[in-house]
Amino acid sequence: MFGAELADVYELIYRSRGKDWAAEAADAARIVRERYPEADSLLDVACGTGAHLETFRTLFGHTEGVELSPDMLDVAARRLPGVPLHEMDMRDFSLGRTFDAVTCLFTAIGYLPTLAGMRAAVRCMARHLVPGGVMVVEPWWFPDRFIDGYVAGDLGGDGERTVARMSHSTREGRTTRMEVRFLVGDAKGITEFTEVDLLTLFTLEEYLSAFADAGCPAEYVESGWTARGLFIGRRE
């Protein structure tokens, strides 16, 4: 998952679906400062191509990113010179410092295959918060809200390339298996590739328990920019 082929067209196709990373980052910053007005440092976990961090770095005095995929991180590094970026796993990273805010957006936490892994990631993120610091996490779907057999299709372009994306999602126990096929056309011709994303259907109660046990009790709120809602935790 999240190899070089996807990293190359990732933002193009999601922007065609209406995703606005700048607006999402601005709203996440607002959420943080409503709870911790003096917040001036932020860590973005699973930062991907750095699209959220591009806005975060204009809103906070110090920002850093953590990302597991080297191909996604390469795109972020080209975009964000001077911003510390770390190729690490969200379940066990250690940066040797704490932050006023930690974010983990676009359902990245759902890619963890086990409940123990999700709990480890929440603990790890909480450890990187100052007392009173704020964590904002966007989950994957809860089990009762997932639609088995869901199909989505999108078409986008940037003047040089046209990209088509079609996905089919099925449920296997607690796991979502999302097969995603891409067609990429440019002056050289048409190429195609397939990604298979596996995401875990954690429950609302499992997330809240993970936050509480990490010393960062959270509330779950609906959000205007994600139908999946947000968890907002505050480090004790």
Q: Is CATH 3.60.15.10 what the domain over 4-142+202-234 is classified as, yes or no?
A: no
Task: Quick: pLDDT tens for 166-181.
Answer: 999 999 999 999 999 9
pLDDT category, 81, cuts 50, 70, 90?
very high
pLDDT in tens, 134-178: 999 999 999 999 999 999 999 999 999 999 999 999 999 999 999
CATH 3.40.50.150 intervals, the chain = 4-142+202-234
pLDDT of res. 120: 98
CATH 2.20.130.10 spans which residues of the chain?
144-200
Select the CATH number that applies to the domain covering 144-200 from these four: 1.10.10.10, 2.20.130.10, 2.60.40.10, 3.40.50.2000: 2.20.130.10
Q: Mind listing the pLDDT tens digit for each residue in 203-225?
A: 999 999 999 999 999 999 998 88
Sheet holding 162-172, edge to edge: 150-157, 162-172, 175-186, 189-200
CA distance 53 to 21: 9
